[in-house]
Chains A and B, each alone.
Chain A
Amino acid sequence: MLEILGRRTISGLAYLGEISILSVQTLGLSLKPPWKGKNLLAEMVNVGLLSLPVVIITGAFTGMVLAVQSYYVLHKMTLETGIGGLVDLSLARELGPVLTALMLAGRVGAAMTAQLGTMKVTEQIDALQSLAVNPVQYLVVPRFLACLILLPILTVYTVFIGMLGGYIASVKMMGINATFYLSIAVGKVAPHDILNGLIKALFFGMIIGIIACYKGLTAKGGAEGVGRATTGSVVTSCILILVADFFITLALKIVNI
């Protein structure tokens, strides 16, 4: 029993260590030329296009649900004119970045892991090394950067579409006065709230990129192994995103953002 626990701890630590090493290597290489502009662009198009429909649907429905849900609560206290502020703040600070990240972990992270995992089990990663090319530089860096850059951008989309959804649900469905709604909603979201959401998105982007690539590069055992790596990638990313969200929120609270 103790032995199993010990072995689990050691393998868990080794796992954390490997992820840290990959993160450090990736960050180091991201800052250093030569940059593979072509690869980065290809990945960004990939990530962006894959995610846009998902992001639009997530944003719209989250905004609407949030509005309807808040209406019932606030209505009881006759505070329903505050809906706009509540919806927009929740979206900008919390739900926008988190939901975008969770969706991307499923959509983009899974695709990256599957692709790199397939390359790993068919010896394409070995071949890359034999051709004197560093797989981290060639494969991981562009994917990591694409996630890092696009997650804040996509978060802005989600938040914006969510706000629109919230407005439509409140004004068109719940019959809240449009001028009222806007007067409160627009004033409530300050630049530091947007910044808060963007900082979160940046970290979530890093998590998705690193975990997806790590799981892909360490896949083993044929098609089944790639499947296992892909599931593992999504689950790990999602959990890390939620855990990180808590700590980042706490940290940002301390520095008052």
Chain B
Amino acid sequence: MITIRNLTKSFGPNRVLDDLSMVVPEGQTTVVIGRSGCGKSVLLKHIMGILKPDSGEILIDGRDITKLKASELNQERKRFGMLFQGGALFDSLTVGENVGFSLQEHTNLSEGEIKEIVREKLELVGLRDVEDLRPAELSGGMKKRVALARAMAMDPEIVLYDEPTTGVDPIMADIINDLILSLQERLKVTSLIVTHDMQSAYKIADRIAMLYKGQIVEIGSREEIRNTANPIVRQFIAGASQGPINEN
């Protein structure tokens, strides 16, 4: 379980997260929606310990990861997988080396065993025979899927997805949705997913949270969000230009 309490973060004068609190329940899929630039990626990076908050705490199973030493934090990170918005593949390594990176770094598996896991994870995201390509040789959607395979390599207990379906075609988007669903059903993975894609959100979410002006303004089940009375959430899911959200 991830518990976020009173998280605040500013970059210079720009306050991105403002006293944000939320809970991500274990074994469930929580989707965070919100406008571009509202701080969704910043929120995920805090949970990974990549960004440090100005104040507030992030408890993973009761341990505040904002106060851990570097080595303890790295230990904690091994339970996580994160898909970055832009993929963030290592461009000096091949696709196979990217996907097998953490296996190479953190396990004593043999080359052959790593190869086998890499092949399996790539198959999971619908890719075959791409191991020897460089990230620069892939399309945008392929990069995202390779990045997804890399995030899955160590069979993480908690997975953070930053816009998993953006930039892939609708059919592949649905395959990714099914993949997230099956991981949750089979392995009871805890997922936190950032997306703009409402169709995907309705399909995979146990709970949907809306981030607005640095805070979670609404959180609830699919049905609760679909039928919410909150005008901010209503405007966002309807995709209307008129309403309480009016600044660009």
Contacts and interface: CB of A to CB of B under 8 A. Distances in A.
Interface string B59-85: 000000000001000110110111011
A131 B105 contact: yes
Contacts of A133: 74, 101-102, 105
Given A124-B91, A126-B45, A126-B50, A132 B102 contact: yes
A18 interface: no
Nearest to A36: B105
Given A122-B86, A129-B77, A134-B74, 19 more contacts: A119-B90, A122-B91, A123-B85, A123-B88, A124-B90, A126-B84, A127-B89, A127-B90, A129-B48, A129-B49, A129-B50, A130-B48, A130-B77, A130-B80, A130-B81, A131-B101, A132-B74, A132-B77, A132-B102
Interface in B29-78: 45, 48-50, 70, 74-75, 77-78
B128 to A, nearest CB: 23
B186 interface: no
A134 B84 contact: no
A122 B75 contact: no
A123 B82 contact: no
A131 B88 contact: no
A132 B78 contact: yes
Interface residues of A, number: 15
Given A129-B48, A130-B50, A130-B77, A123 B105 contact: no
B115 to A, nearest CB: 17
22 contacts: A115-B92, A119-B90, A122-B86, A123-B84, A123-B86, A124-B90, A126-B48, A126-B88, A127-B88, A127-B89, A127-B90, A128-B90, A129-B49, A129-B50, A130-B50, A131-B102, A132-B74, A132-B75, A132-B102, A132-B106, A133-B101, A133-B105
A76 B85 CA distance: 71
Which bracket fits the contact residues of B?
Answer: 20 to 34
Nearest to A123: B88
A54 to B, nearest CB: 23
Contacts of B84: 123, 126-127, 130
Contacts of A126: 45, 48, 50, 84, 88
| CB-based closest 10 A-B pairs | A127-B88, A123-B88, A132-B77, A130-B82, A132-B74, A131-B102, A132-B78, A126-B50, A130-B48, A123-B84
B228 to A, nearest CB: 33
Interface in A19-65: none
Interface string B178-194: 00000000000000000
A241 to B, nearest CB: 28
A133 B92 CA distance: 16
Contacts of B105: 131-133
Interface string A125-154: 011111111100000000000000000000
A131 B86 contact: no
Interface in B206-247: none
A131 B102 CA distance: 6
A128 B84 CA distance: 11
Nearest to B106: A132
A113 to B, nearest CB: 15
Contacts of A115: 92
Contacts of A129: 48-50, 77
Given A129-B77, A131-B105, A133-B105, A124 B50 contact: no
A134 B78 contact: no
Nearest to B90: A124
Nearest to B92: A115
Contacts of B85: 123
A127 B75 CA distance: 15
